């Protein structure tokens, strides 16, 4: 239909199968520890990810203390510094961001947003968390084995990663690889759950083109992860075999202290291809859920439907597909054939097109909206600015001739952190401030939230904008200490000191944020069922926080998309997805039926 007027019988089929009985816990252990409820599992994922993320945050402070004030802190030597770099990178990218967006938000929001009782495989969902926790424990143990954690750099490039002289060569690198393998096994169990739940467990009337963009982002990101993580899995297993059994998948012939090693004919470049075939989709495994969350929060807090919903969906799908053909732009300095460099530079520019479409649509959603500058909205606006800045510097690095001189400088560190560090973390904060009332029934403190936002946002720019300059003047990355270097101006040392101070200030703001969460759980202002007047199903549950089974005795029936804000002829400025058309209150002057979906969804 092209007129957007939908009749209930046309879009809401009868239930094809009966509801499956849920598992009901009979003991506090099965209710709060070995729990099969996706909401509890989501909180377990989130708590674990945040705890290990705090470890990564402390490691970044230690790194910055060394870079800002070299030779001041005696306990930070070269070996420790490289271990901090390696563990910080791996923790933040894999064990924090991936686990939090997919394991945390995915588990909590997918069943609620699509109108399901729970994930379709609750027991496997529970197992996926415990395997993830085991992976985190194994990674943490690597700090305490003889030789300490791996210091190979977070990308774990061979032959350095498993050669003598690299920190953590004995137990650290082995535990790192085992932990990665465990993480991927756990994620695969959870990921299959997310995909099947979205495809098979949606409420009546919840067509794919009525799903919130948060669900679309998590859904496509999960498919990317299921296709990309196997490359990292086999790379980890093969390197583990090289280290433990002496095979030569990645290890070439080398002379160490005048003696030939036992390895021969291995290919270090093969590892780089496997790692980055996973590594670049990993950027969008984190970014796509963030895109979806930003879309939903902006629409809700601007009281306006998302601009170009169908375009936003297909942009998510296009970004996911293109992310698999850009990986080698991370390898321009590896001796690549120029024709391959041209191909990957071109695909890197092409993937910017659907990303730019999302940027335009967010801005057009805000245009003439009734914008409420709530804490979630502030973080989302900050994300748009930050991802735009990071994307622009990505265009620099996507160009071969510009990337080669900048590749080993602090410019890459600044770009990577703007895109993969600050931008997604801003979305995580937005999501927590937005959905915390649903999870706890209480609001986070507004004043503390304002303090947290402004220190985090402005502080992040004061950290990473100067770092771009350091890269332009040639300050190298990965160096424990620069010392007296002719090509590095004295201003670099001053800037490094300034950046270190700002890192500590921004870190303090995160302590305030954690205190806000803990205190608000017990003493926060009661939130009510729907404090943001949102339309999507998670805000229409029978109780807040939602109980086991999410929706009481009957599952919701969906009549419209998730962005019915400020609809013409409707008294309220929002219409929930599950409100029957006959119950929608009209203005006195309104005539005709309510347009339940925009025409574009039916063309």
Render pLDDT for 69-115 as a digit per residue (tens, 0 to 9): 998 898 999 999 999 999 999 999 999 999 999 999 999 999 999 99
Does any domain span residue 18? no
With a CB cutoff of 8 Å and minimum separation 6, the contacts of 518 are none
Give the mean pLDDT of 557-585: 89
16 band by pLDDT with thresholds 50, 70 and 90 = low
**Residue 154: which CATH number?**
1.20.210.10
Distance CA 233, CA 188 (A): 11
Give the mean pLDDT of 454-460: 97
Distance CA 347, CA 337 (A): 16
Comparing C-alpha atoms, which of 478, 468, 380 is closest to residue 416?
468
Give the mean pLDDT of 513-537: 94
Give the residue with greater pLDDT, 322 vs 595.
322
Does any domain span residue 313? yes
pLDDT at 258 over 90: no
Helix (H) or strand (E) holding 465: helix 446-472
Does any domain span residue 373? yes
Tokens of 26: 């009979």
Residue 18 pLDDT: 66
Q: 114 lies in which domain range? A: 40-252+264-602
Residue 581 pLDDT: 87
Comparing C-alpha atoms, which of 330, 397, 323 is closest to residue 354?
323
pLDDT digits (tens, 9 = 90+) for 309-346: 999 999 999 999 999 999 999 999 998 888 899 999 99
- Residue 15: CB atoms within 10 A of its CB come to 11
Does any domain span residue 152? yes
pLDDT at 1 over 60: no
Number of domains in the chain: 1
Distance CA 111, CA 468 (A): 42
pLDDT digits (tens, 9 = 90+) for 177-206: 999 999 999 999 999 999 999 999 999 999
User: What are the backbone dihedrals phi and psi of residue 247, each rounded to the nearest 5 degrees, phi first?
Assistant: -70, 175
Tokens of 291: 């895109």
Burial of 145 (0-12, 13-18, 19+ CB in 10 A): middle
Residue 554 pLDDT: 87
Residue 603 pLDDT: 42
CA trace torsion 28, 34, 38, 44 (10° rounding): 90
Does any domain span residue 192? yes
Q: Which residues of 327-342 are buried (b: 16+ CB within 10 A; e: fewer)?
A: bbbbbbeeebeeeebe
pLDDT at 592 over 80: no
- Residue 195: CB atoms within 10 A of its CB come to 18
Name the pTM for this structure.
0.93
Q: Are 564 and 575 in contact (CB under 8 A)?
A: yes
Report which DSSP code applies to 246. Answer: -
Q: Is the peptide bond before 186 cis (omega within 30 degrees of 0)?
A: no
pLDDT at 169 over 80: yes
3 band by pLDDT with thresholds 50, 70 and 90 = very low
pLDDT digits (tens, 9 = 90+) for 106-143: 999 999 999 999 999 999 999 999 999 999 999 999 99
Bridge partners (DSSP) of residue 256 are 259
Averaged pLDDT of the chain:
90
Bridge partners (DSSP) of residue 565 are 574
Does any domain span residue 11? no
Distance CA 532, CA 266 (A): 57
> How many Cα neighbours within 13 Å face the side chain of 385?
11
Does any domain span residue 22? no
Give the mean pLDDT of 572-591: 82
Q: Are 214 and 295 in contact (CB under 8 A)?
A: yes
Residue 6 pLDDT: 39
């Amino acid at each position: 239909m092209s007129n957007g007027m939908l009749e209930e019988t046309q879009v809401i089929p009868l239930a094809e199968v009966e509801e499956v009985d849920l598992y009901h816990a009979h003991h506090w252990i099965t209710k709060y520890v070995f729990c099969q409820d996706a909401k509890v599992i989501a909180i377990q994922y989130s708590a674990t990810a945040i705890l290990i993320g705090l470890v990564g945050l402390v490691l970044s402070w230690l790194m910055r203390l060394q870079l800002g004030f070299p030779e001041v802190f005696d306990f930070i030597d070269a070996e420790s510094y490289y271990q901090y770099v390696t563990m910080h990178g791996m923790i933040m990218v894999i064990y924090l961001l991936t686990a939090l967006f997919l394991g945390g938000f995915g588990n909590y929001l997918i069943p609620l947003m699509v109108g399901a009782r729970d994930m379709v495989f609750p027991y496997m969902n529970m197992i996926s968390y415990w395997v993830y926790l085991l992976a985190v424990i194994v990674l943490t143990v690597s700090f305490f084995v003889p030789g300490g954690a791996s210091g190979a750099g977070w990308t774990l490039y061979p032959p350095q990663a498993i050669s003598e002289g690299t920190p953590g060569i004995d137990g650290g690198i082995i535990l790192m690889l085992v932990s990665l393998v465990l993480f991927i096994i756990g994620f695969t169990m959870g990921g299959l759950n997310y995909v099947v739940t979205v495809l098979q467990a949606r409420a009546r009337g919840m067509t794919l083109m009525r799903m919130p963009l948060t669900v679309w982002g998590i859904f496509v990101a999960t498919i990317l992860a299921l296709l990309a993580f196997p490359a990292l899995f086999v790379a980890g297993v093969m390197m583990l075999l090289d280290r433990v059994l002496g095979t030569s998948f990645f290890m070439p012939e080398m002379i160490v202290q005048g003696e030939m090693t036992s390895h021969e004919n291995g290919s270090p470049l093969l590892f780089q291809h496997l790692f980055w075939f996973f590594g670049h989709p990993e950027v969008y495994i984190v970014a796509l859920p963030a895109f979806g969350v930003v879309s939903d929060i902006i629409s809700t807090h601007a009281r306006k439907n998302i601009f170009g919903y169908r375009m936003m969906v297909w942009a998510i799908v296009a970004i996911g597909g293109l992310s698999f053909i850009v990986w080698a732009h991370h390898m321009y300095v590896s001796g690549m054939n120029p024709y391959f460099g041209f191909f990957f530079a071109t695909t890197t520019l092409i993937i910017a097109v659907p990303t730019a479409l999302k940027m335009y649509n967010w801005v057009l959603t805000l245009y003439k909206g009734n914008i409420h500058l709530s804490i979630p909205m502030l973080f989302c606006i900050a994300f748009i600015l930050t991802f735009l800045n990071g994307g622009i510097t990505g265009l620099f690095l996507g160009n071969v001739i510009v990337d080669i001189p900048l590749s080993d400088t602090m410019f890459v560190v600044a770009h990577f952190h703007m895109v993969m560090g600050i931008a997604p973390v801003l979305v995580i904060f937005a999501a927590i401030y937005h959905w915390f009332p649903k999870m706890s029934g209480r609001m986070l403190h507004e004043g503390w939230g304002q303090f947290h936002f402004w220190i985090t946002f402005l502080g992040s720019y004061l950290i990473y904008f100067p770092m771009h300059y350091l890269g332009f003047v040639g300050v190298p990355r990965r160096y424990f200490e620069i010392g007296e270097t002719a090509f590095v101006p004295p201003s670099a040392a001053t800037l490094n000191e300034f950046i270190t101070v700002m890192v500590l200030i921004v870190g303090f703001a995160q302590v305030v944020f954690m205190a806000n969460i803990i205190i608000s759980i017990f003493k926060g202002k009661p939130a009510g069922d729907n404090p943001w007047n949102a339309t999507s199903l998670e805000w229409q549950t029978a109780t807040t926080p939602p109980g086991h089974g999410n929706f009481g005795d009957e599952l919701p029936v969906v009549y419209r998309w998730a962005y019915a804000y400020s609809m013409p002829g409707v008294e309220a400025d929002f219409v929930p997805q599950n409100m029957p058309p006959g119950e929608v209150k009209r203005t006195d002057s309104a005539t005709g039926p309510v347009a339940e979906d925009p025409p574009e969804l039916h063309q």
